Amino acid sequence: MRLCRVMRCISPSIRHVADGDGWMQTTSHDSGHNVLVIHPKIRWGKFSPSKLKDPQRQLDEAVTLVNTLPRFRVVQSEMIAVDYHTKKKTIWGSGNVRNIRKMAAENRATAVMVNIDSLTPMQQQGLYEEWNMPVYDRYNIVMEIFKFYAQTEEARLQIKLAEIPYIRNRLFFMLSSPCDPTILHVHKDDTNRSDFMEALRMREQKLRKKIEEVKAQNIERMEKQRNVYPLVAIVGYTNAGKTSLAKRLTGAESLVPKDRLFATLDTTRHFARLPSGRKICLTDTIGFLSDLPIHLIDAFEATLAHVKKADLIIHIRDISHPDWRAQSEDVERTLKSIGVENLEEQVIAIDNKIDRPEADPEAEGDMQISCTTGEGMEELIGEIDKEVQIVTGSRPITLRLSPGSAAAQYLYSNAFVREQPEDDGAGKLIFRVIISAEEMPFLSMDLKCNMTGITNLTPNDPINFRWHLKVEMKCTNCGEQPDHWQYVVANEILDIPGSRGEANLVEKCKLCGRQNTLSIVEDSYGTYKAEQNEKWQPMVTFDCRGVEPCDFDPRNDWVAEGTETGTPFNDIDLTEKSWADYDEKASESTEIQDWEIRFSHVKPPGKK
Ligand SMILES: Nc1nc2c(ncn2[C@@H]2O[C@H](COP(=O)(O)OP(=O)(O)OP(=O)(O)O)[C@@H](O)[C@H]2O)c(=O)[nH]1
Ligand SMILES: [Mg+2]
């Protein structure tokens, strides 16, 4: 009788399949269900669970997952043993299948959740026929949660992509075994296309393209930010305390920890200042969960790009959870699957919730904390500071600088100065700071060219020479690209508006209003020497704050001398970035070719 009812809906459904393209996964969180949750506990064999995973905890987690959905309510949960594996069409033998049907009826359940990562369409159909009610797996429930709670466009796109392999697999199944698609949690929207597989492929392609764009934007934003701040990502099993930790470290009001699985579905960025004065960009991320199909993680690639690209990853573990070891393994496995290769070096493991009586005293993470009481937080911040210094290659250095110099102001305004600088008694201050090469405000302009018959190429009068540069804004608030040439002259000194400092170039950012400056470092001029021909050689050093040169136009007024003869060449024109002449004394031609410029960070002049 039940079978007949199912069969009656097969033919129209299959016609739909052949006609339409707009296949979607159904969402049931609007209508809701009374759910019977069954965990198939594998008794023995190679598919029996890892010793770290307690089946009762797995069942408890499934109950929490289902109850996370607003209109879903677990009415009963049971563990029912199964031999060897869960691959049979109805998972259990007929006796257990009958018992589950009875249990569902007694508890007035309207749906059953079988706690395995994903049921095959054949199992979903087989169990539906046995129980005559929708059958969910872990994947279905997680997708329902994601769909209900996703807030941003990025999360929604990723969810849509994650559905596609599921829908494709169901549609293939329906071609050979027609059934009501809603049994398999798919339905069709109103659009009609005959080549539905092709339509699905097109949809996947479009989504992938959009997600690639989002990912590229995320990476670009991160790379830009990384130029300024080290990136620290917080990861962990869902509900471990990631958001709580991010809130503790940054004080961000917008972060609201919740006692709910997958409370965070989108990556958010926040800033924190470490004791060394270094500012870091901290990301709170989506939680991990065991036994999820890999394509679901793949689909969240754009969001997880923040983790992959992080300089340091904090893995927070809820050690008050009885299964924290298994959860920790799941997180490490997921990190590896998204391409984090060097867990030992890149990740610090933090044990959270030590205030709870259930906290495992034998947990052996790198540090122990409680986000609720704040215990261990100071040590953790010190550890993050130390790790960030290591990963960014920062080290303590001593600088002797003039009090009003641009470099001294750079150190102050970027909070590198943590202790009062000492007066050296000769008008300079001695700064002791922790800084990485990338954060140095000094940029060397290096030249590589091929010179024939000449040496000691240099501007004719370096301190009055016009260094024509394209200057890029580096202030964090915007990313203005340069479109014009401007020049700096060492002898032309400008006041920095609103400060007592001076610089050779002052540029106010049109977008953020910040005064950015560039100065030529005194006596930093180099000459291009024949002995190092075709090798990078420094020509001048710039002190940059908020701006950086990215191109140089040599123009004219350069000098050099014959390599063997010392013949002076006093008016070399490099407008074409090449030059040719003749050295009478040596009876040979002289040339400059293959002109190339690069800018590289260097140690500050005056470093002790
Ligand atoms: N007792 C105690 N509770 C904590 C601690 N840290 C976090 N919590 C609680 O644990 C729950 C989950 O915290 P969240 O910070 O939202 O966890 P999450 O890892 O961001 O969770 P998802 O975003 O859902 O993956 C909240 O109710 C927190 O108040 C702690 O150290 N001790
Ligand atoms: Mg969270």
Choosing from 376, 391, 406, the residue where a domain stops is 391
Question: Does residue 160 carry a pLDDT above 60?
Answer: yes
- With 70 as the cut, is the pLDDT of residue 57 above it? yes
Select from 258, 266, 286, 321 the residue to mutate for testing ligand 1; criterion: most ligand atoms less than 8 Å from CB.
Answer: 258
Please report, for the domain that includes residue 177, its CATH number: 3.40.50.11060
CA distance 604 to 606: 6
For the ranges 136-145, 252-261, 380-389, 553-562, the maximum mean pLDDT occurs at: 553-562
Within-domain flag for 540: yes
How far is residue 394's CA from residue 292's CA, in Å, rounded to a whole number? 39
- Is the same domain home to 125 and 15? yes
Per-position DSSP letters for 21-60, written without gaps between them: --EEE---TTT-EEEEEEEEEE-SSTTSPPTT--HHHHHH
* pLDDT score for 535: 94
My answer on whether 322 and 386 are in the same domain is: yes
Least confident of 207-216, 473-482, 588-597: 473-482
Tokens of 295: 């394509």
* In a shared domain, residues 483 and 355: no
Q: What is the mean pLDDT of residues 294-306?
A: 74
Q: Are residues 343 and 456 in the same domain?
A: no
- Identify whether 561 is part of a domain: yes
Confidence of residue 552 (pLDDT cuts 50, 70, 90): very high
**CA atoms of 279 and 286, how far apart (whole Å):** 23
- Look at residue 7 in the predicted model and tell me its pLDDT: 33
Edge-to-edge strand list for the sheet holding 442-452? 505-508, 515-520, 537-545, 442-452, 588-601, 579-583
Query: Cβ(372) to ligand 1 under 6 A?
Result: yes
In this structure, the residue with its CA closest to atom 30 of ligand 1 is 353
Q: Does ligand 1 lie within 6 Å of residue 243's CB atom?
A: yes
State the distance from the centre of ligand 1 to the C-alpha of 113, rounded, in angstroms.
Answer: 26
Estimate to the nearest angstrom the gap between the alpha carbon of 381 and the chain centroid.
Answer: 21
**Which of 67, 142, 244, 334 to probe ligand 1 with, by most ligand atoms within 8 A of CB?**
244
Whole-complex ipTM? 0.99
Work out which ligand 1 atom sits closest to the CA atom of 371.
Answer: 31
**Contact 242 CB / ligand 1 (< 6 Å):** yes
For the segment 128-153, the average pLDDT, to the nearest whole number, is 89
What is the predicted pLDDT for the residue at 48?
54
* 26 and 161 both lie in a single domain: yes
Closest C-alpha to ligand 1, atom 11:
259
Determine the pLDDT at residue 605. Answer: 61
Question: What confidence tier does 31 reach under pLDDT thresholds 50, 70, 90?
Answer: confident
Distance 246 CA to ligand 2 centre (A): 9
Question: Which is more confident, 409 or 565?
Answer: 565
Rounded to the nearest whole angstrom, what is the distance from the C-alpha of residue 257 to the centroid of ligand 1?
A: 6
Mean pLDDT of 211-229: 76
Q: Which ligand is nearest to the CA of 235?
A: 1
Please determine, for residue 506, whether its predicted confidence score (pLDDT) is greater than 80: yes
Q: How far is the CA of 348 from the centre of ligand 1 (A)?
A: 18
> Distance between CA atoms of 296 and 144, rounded to whole angstroms?
13
Whether the predicted pLDDT of 49 surpasses 70: no
Q: What is the per-residue pLDDT for 575?
A: 95
Is 178's C-beta closer than 6 angstroms to any atom of ligand 1? no
Residue 8 lies in a domain: yes
Higher local confidence (pLDDT), 230 or 187: 230
Name the band, by pLDDT with cuts 50, 70 and 90, for residue 573.
very high
Neighbours of 533 (CB within 10 A): 16
Looking at the structure, tell me whether residues 565 and 445 fall in a common domain.
yes
My answer on whether 546 and 449 are in the same domain is: yes
Is there a single domain that holds both residue 148 and residue 282? no
How far apart are alpha carbons 144 and 162 in whole angstroms? 12
Partners of 597 in beta bridges: 447
88 CB less than 6 Å from ligand 1?
no
pLDDT cut 90: percent of the chain above it: 39
CA distances (Å), 141 to each of 29, 65, 554, in order? 10, 7, 64
Q: Is the CB of 597 under 6 A from ligand 1?
A: no
Examine residue 29 and state whether it is found in any structural domain, yes or no.
yes
588 lines ligand 1 (CB under 6 A): no
Q: Please tell me the distance between residue 287's alpha carbon and the centre of ligand 2 in angstroms.
A: 7
**Residue 413 and residue 407: Cα distance in Å, rounded?**
10
- Measured CA distances, 552 to 100, 503, 522, 530, 542 (Å): 77, 19, 19, 21, 12
Query: Based on the domain organization, do 295 and 346 belong to the same domain?
Result: yes
β-bridge pairing 547-553 and 537-545? unpaired
**261 CB within 6 A, ligand 1:** yes
- What pLDDT is stored for residue 20 in this prediction? 35
- Residue 21 shares a structural domain with residue 94: yes
CA–CA distance, 14 with 398 (Å, rounded to integer): 76
The residue ranking higher by pLDDT, 31 or 355, is 355
- pLDDT of res. 111: 94
Boundaries of domain holding 356: 229-391
Work out the average pLDDT over 36-45.
82
CA of 267 to the centre of ligand 2 (A): 9
Find the radius of gyration of the CA atoms of the chain. Answer: 33
- The SS3 assignment for 538 reads strand
Confidence label for 319 from pLDDT (cuts 50, 70 and 90): very high
Distance of alpha carbon 35 from the chain centroid: 37
- What's the confidence (pLDDT) of residue 1? 34
Closest ligand 1 atom number to CA of residue 257: 16
For the segment 376-382, the average pLDDT, to the nearest whole number, is 93
Within-domain flag for 84: yes
328 Cα to the center of ligand 2, angstroms: 16
Same domain, 41 and 178: yes
Rounded to an integer, what distance in angstroms lies between the CA atom of residue 525 and that of residue 459? 9
Is 380 domain-assigned? yes
| Predicted local confidence at residue 16, as pLDDT | 32
In sign, the C-alpha dihedral spanning 16, 18, 23, 27 is positive
Q: How far is the CA of 110 from the centre of ligand 2 (A)?
A: 31
Residue nearest to atom 16 of ligand 1 (CA): 257
The answer to whether residue 508 sits within a structural domain is no
- pLDDT, residue 135, reads 94
Q: Is 285 in the pocket of ligand 1 (CB under 6 A)?
A: no
Q: Tell me if 356 CB under 6 Å of ligand 1.
A: yes
Residue 410 covered by a domain? no
Ligand 2 centroid from CA 38, angstroms: 27
Q: Are 149 and 257 members of one domain? A: no
**Residue pair 470/484 in contact by the 8 Å Cβ criterion:** yes
pLDDT above 70: residue 314: yes
Sign of CA dihedral 316, 321, 327, 329: positive
Instruction: Tell me how many domains the chain contains.
Output: 3
Residue that finishes a domain, picked among 156, 188, 220 = 188
Average model confidence (pLDDT) across the chain: 83
Instruction: Determine whether the shortest distance from the Cβ of 258 to ligand 1 is under 6 A.
Output: yes
Q: Which residue has the higher pLDDT, 412 or 536?
A: 536
What are phi and psi for residue 233, nearest 5 degrees?
-110, 140
Distance from Cα 236 to the centre of ligand 1, integer Å: 11
